[in-house]
Chain A
Amino acid sequence: MLERANTNAGALHGCYGGLLLRYPTDHPVIPWGSTTVLCLPLAVASLQKPEIRLESLKEDIKEFFKISGWEKKLQNAVYSELNVYPLPSHPAAPPEHLKEPLVYMRKAQGSWEKRILKSLNSMCTELSIPLARKRPVGQQKELLNKWNEMGTDEPDLSLFRPVYAPKDFLEVLINLRNPNYENGDSLSFRTHLGLIQVPLKVKDIPDLKECFIELGLNTGQLGIDDSTQVPPELFENEHVRIGQKVLAEQDSAAAQQYIRQGSPTALRAELWALILNISSQPEDILYYEQLKANVIQHDLLVDSLIYKDVKLTASNDDYYFVFEDYLYQVLLCFSRDTSVLGHFAYNSASPPKSYIRGKLGLEEYAVFYPPNDWLGVDHFFKAWPGVIPFHGFSMYVAPLCFLYHEPYKLYQTFREMYVRFFFRLHSISSHPSGIVSLCLLFETLLQTYLPQLFYHLREIGAQPLRISFKWMVRAFSGYLATDQLLLLWDRILGYNSLEILAVLAAAVFAFRAVNLMEVTSLAAAEAVLADLSTLKVMPLLQIFLFATIT
């Protein structure tokens, strides 16, 4: 129970040792009927009353919570946990089952990981570079001096190549099969024409309409109802006022509900921090500084991959090139963050354990990489270096630079976004927000509502998923204009789901259907869909979901 309380709950971190209390199950703050052990600040002990009376302790504490604002913080922390962790499950279920209930998915993820690891290890051997090594003191000093301008470094990265690109991952997903499912029927109108051939349940438009009800035609939206032709009195002014109120109340759940209609530019940074339950406590800053110290002291192979990725993608982007230095400051620390391992508890991916040489198989000698201590770092680990960046990974961070400017804040936000959402985009699972489900959702929407287009594209050898996959894997970062991207990510946070990415991908195809019907090759189809920077996201989504005749 204590572990549960310690993760993700910034509010609960502010404890200075103190009373341990069991919280009553029927308290309205916590909606579900389970008990939680809480740490309370010692300050509680010094309530206004000169002596603490046991009979009134419960009431006194409740009162204290309300006055001091801790009640809100606890609520936010609990709400945040509800969003992140899976629902309570059967007590007899083994931990792998919690991560990913379907065996074939687990197996597929396992072999994909092995492949990546093999590729990484062979890169190490080829280039004779260890996975990790301690930096000599001179280099450490140099790096520390250059910390704010690492982008000026031009290391020779020509020998490094990204470990994999989204299209490699797509090939793996295309070959996923459920061994228990045999579709012996001959081809019929029901046959799925797309690339994904696993039977996962996905929503159709009526379901999506219900789910995304706040995007409907009768509800005001930022991204639509704040355009220049619409007088701000109709929607925008009131919406901004409500946003300010939500921020004043510091209520996570309210913020999440509010942001479904989009966030005003000026309030976005704070709203996201509230929803992700990020507070800038001194210990958070300290944590970031520790990671930074780690970066200075040790050089990881993954660092070079990160450098290469940033140089290839974000630095070449017309809008994100300015933030190059911030990207290094975030990503280099991220690859050393052991708390990210915590998210693997609900991710089907697992950090392969490495065993200290000679003790293979003995659990006590298993080491997770990045290791908690760096004693063994000079050894050549055959280990899983945390999250391996693929080509385009740095684009997850780039849009956030628009909102946050202190590196530790930027870092916290990115880490939260990663463990809540982004990791699902490059691991194999059956989760409704996992990339497999998103691909299937995209293809099903297209086939059901734009069958002629789908059939035509398939005939000319341009399977739609081959084009839209890269958009979804990057959550459209780098493809949409930044202001549109942020409006889209508002909704991801608001609905706590990535399904909107698949819906948008389908909406884009629907929008350009006329041109697509005229193309005769994959290359031509790619050309029609090459430039998304002029698209307005919210009208596209609204039309596709609510204004198309189904």
Chain B
Amino acid sequence: MNTLMDVLRNRPGWVEVKDEGEWDFYWCDVSWLRENFDHTYMDDHVRISHFRNHYELTHKNYMVKNLKRFRRQLEREAGKLEAAKCDFFPKTFEMPCEYHLFVEEFRKHPGITWIMKPVARSQGKGIFLFRRLKDIMDWRKDTRSSDDQKDELPVENYVAQRYIENPYLIGGRKFDLRVYVLVTSYLPLRAWLYRDGFTRFSNTRFTLSSIDDQYVHLTNVAVQKTSPDYHPKKGCKWMLQRFRQYLASKHGPQVVEALFSDMDNIFIKSLQSVQKVIISDKHCFELYGYDILIDQDLKPWLLEVNASPSLTASSPEDYELKTCLLEDTLHVVDMEARLTGKEKRVGGFDLMWNDGPVSREEGAPDLPGMGNFVTNTHLGCVNDRKNQLQQLFHSLQTQKKASS
């Protein structure tokens, strides 16, 4: 079920290049990027699927640093209220360097649960929950001793993050949302939001009493797959449309609009916070997988941003979603140079930020929040991408003919 290969191979006019051949487009690994990007010459038209220093956004420790800095800047420039809009990231401390700051915070709130996450690993590996300092004392001893052997063992960075103890539950289960954001440039910032995504459920019922049971708390599909309860047929995923409908029938459409608008805020602010730091190379684009957790007060929290969201499909529905996502990504990247650059929607992608907020078509009602207009995002809404693409390319074709 390799969606990427299928999409690339089926794209009309594209040819797969082996090994040392010259390429115009490369969907690469981050490891390849790290080793080769700096000494690879690329023509103007060439595109590659990562930014050089994406880790500013996608490694938890860098991200929290950038976000904190951005927040301070916002507070200076626009005041406390505006800065508060950045409070979507649970309190996080880098380990081991911020250990003392962490202990201070820890002592201020006795009894709450914290989660320790490795900075760069994915799929739920290496994560554990704790409530007592004792639990991490031993761990700290290990890292201290390995500091001495720095040259032999790479020190793995961790972050300690406040665990959200009141997640929104559906059917007694915890879940998180996977949302896809495509960035085609940072300077200026151009970001697209994909309409589809999914809700990942934990297979077991949520309870704070069993923090050792990582199956309860971690919703990554990879972890869930190893749970003794896991039945592959179940899939434990809902499409976002289903989730949006569920919330609307429970809380009404206005509440849902507010929640999704808060999520838009998360995407944009997180990208803005790294805008000046990321090397905005015109050859680069990146498809991020955002993990969002909703708490019982319907506040969304950012868990993390993934530079390489999983593209393997766990079910036919999943396969459909990911292949369409990749196709539309390639449409936006536009190697075929079909687009005018003025489009606000391509397939399932809506242009969310174009060096400034993007409004929906004229005539749409205004909502309070992002200035005077409604942002052009439709997360969890109907995705009639086939029709839209047909109309789009048809009209582009006629425009071309008319102007030639």
Q: Which residues of chain A are within 8 angstroms of B315 by Cβ–Cβ distance?
A: 318
Q: Contact check: which of A227, A266, A326, A483 meets B171 at CB < 8 Å?
A: A326
Contact check, B245 vs A265: say whether CB atoms are below 8 A apart: yes
Interface locus among B15-23, B106-114, B246-254, B289-297: B246-254
Contact check, B242 vs A482: say whether CB atoms are below 8 A apart: yes
Contact check, A322 vs B204: say whether CB atoms are below 8 A apart: no
Q: Which residues of chain B are within 8 angstroms of A152 by Cβ–Cβ distance?
A: 204-205, 229
Contact check, B249 vs A269: say whether CB atoms are below 8 A apart: yes
Q: Which residues of chain A are within 8 angstroms of B250 by Cβ–Cβ distance?
A: 269, 405
Contact with B along A318-333 (1 / 0, CB 8 A): 1101111110000000
**Chain A min CB distance to B202 (Å):** 11
Chain B: interface residue total (CB-CB under 8 A)? 27
Interface residues of A, dominant DSSP: helix
Interface locus among B68-76, B231-239, B258-266: B231-239
Contact check, B234 vs A321: say whether CB atoms are below 8 A apart: yes
Contact check, A266 vs B245: say whether CB atoms are below 8 A apart: no
A residues 116-133 touching B (CB-CB < 8 Å): none
Take A315-B234, A318-B235, A405-B250 as given contacts and tell me if A228 and B173 are in contact as well, using a CB distance cutoff of 8 Å: no
Chain A, residue nearest B384 (CB): A228
Contact check, A265 vs B205: say whether CB atoms are below 8 A apart: no
Q: Contact check: which of B205, B233, B242 meets A319 at CB < 8 Å?
A: B242
A residues 150-164 touching B (CB-CB < 8 Å): 151-152
Query: What is the CA–CA distance of A405 and B172 in the complex, to the nearest angstrom?
Result: 11
Q: Contact check: which of A268, A316, A322 meets B233 at CB < 8 Å?
A: A316
Interface residues of B, dominant DSSP: mixed
**Chain A min CB distance to B174 (Å):** 11
Q: Which residues of chain B are within 8 angstroms of A85 by Cβ–Cβ distance?
A: none
Contact check, A325 vs B171: say whether CB atoms are below 8 A apart: yes
Chain A, residue nearest B236 (CB): A321
Q: Which residues of chain B are within 8 angstroms of A483 by Cβ–Cβ distance?
A: 245
A residues 129-188 touching B (CB-CB < 8 Å): 148-149, 151-152
Contact with A along B280-321 (1 / 0, CB 8 A): 000000000000000000000000000000000001010000
Q: Which residues of chain A are within 8 angstroms of B249 by Cβ–Cβ distance?
A: 265-266, 268-269, 402-403
Query: What is the CA–CA distance of A535 and B176 in the complex, to the nearest angstrom?
Result: 29
Contact check, A322 vs B205: say whether CB atoms are below 8 A apart: no
A401 at the interface (CB under 8 A from B): yes
B170 at the interface (CB under 8 A from A): yes
B201 at the interface (CB under 8 A from A): yes
Chain B, residue nearest A405 (CB): B250
Take A266-B248, A403-B249 as given contacts and tell me if A149 and B236 are in contact as well, using a CB distance cutoff of 8 Å: no
B28 at the interface (CB under 8 A from A): no
Contact check, A148 vs B172: say whether CB atoms are below 8 A apart: yes
Q: Contact check: which of B205, B246, B382 meets A325 at CB < 8 Å?
A: B205
Contact check, B245 vs A322: say whether CB atoms are below 8 A apart: no
Q: Which residues of chain A are within 8 angstroms of B234 by Cβ–Cβ distance?
A: 315-316, 318, 321
Take A148-B172, A322-B171, A326-B171 as given contacts and tell me if A265 and B233 are in contact as well, using a CB distance cutoff of 8 Å: no
Taking Cβ atoms with an 8 Å cutoff, the residues of A that contact B are: 148-149, 151-152, 227-228, 265-266, 268-269, 315-316, 318-319, 321-326, 401-403, 405, 482-483
Question: What would 6 A/B residue contacts be, using CB atoms closer than 8 Å?
Answer: A228-B382, A318-B237, A318-B315, A321-B234, A322-B201, A482-B242
Q: Nearest 8 A-B pairs (CB), nearest first?
A: A322-B171, A149-B205, A266-B252, A265-B249, A323-B171, A265-B248, A321-B234, A228-B382
Taking Cβ atoms with an 8 Å cutoff, the residues of B that contact A are: 170-173, 201, 204-205, 229, 231, 233-238, 242, 245-246, 248-250, 252-253, 315, 317, 382, 384
